[in-house]
Amino acid sequence: MTKMNKENVTVLGVDPGYERIGIAVVKEVEGAKKTTVMYSDCFITSKDDTLNERIFQIGGEIEKVIKKYSPTHLSIEKLYFTNNQKTAMGVAEARGVIINQAKHAGLTVREFTPLQVKVAVTGYGKADKKALWYMVKVLTEMSKEAKYDDEMDAIAIALTAIATKGE
């Protein structure tokens, strides 16, 4: 795992999927009391499109966000096993294109499990979504309220990279 610089860190956080993808860019400036959420959204692909088309769209969206906000790191949730293998395969493909775009742009990639995200943001590995999102609001300065849970998760994943940057 690559250590992060302690000054002015900008992280692209992604909650991966192929239908709904949480995307956030957060910036930590040394000495600031809160981490700034520069951007957050939930990118949604159409169920009418093929998986290949959706993966292509996700890659394009990630590329646009990287070009606009110039993050130095990608923080992405690790894939965990699910009962639905078709869904897991699609999410794995989406993760692949997201990581590929990040590496192509020179970003350092860090991956975290849901447990690691909960511990880093709330201090408690069994925290529920409500507690996680409460802490996201406490730890960040946001110019707008997040509309989707995927968006809040992406912010939490980005915060995890900042909270664990020395590890």
Please identify every residue annotated as catalytic: 15, 77, 150
Provide the token pair at 49: 């499109």
Handedness of CA 109, 111, 116, 118 (dihedral sign): positive
End-to-end CA distance of the chain: 8
- Tell me how far apart the alpha carbons of residues 70 and 48 are, in angstroms, rounded to a whole number: 32
Provide the token pair at 12: 């692209």
DSSP calls for 100-155: HHHHHTT-EEEEE-HHHHHHHHHS-TT--HHHHHHHHHHHEEESS---SHHHHHHH
**Cα dist. 58→65, 83, 135 in Å?**
11, 24, 28
Cross-strand pairs, 109: 74
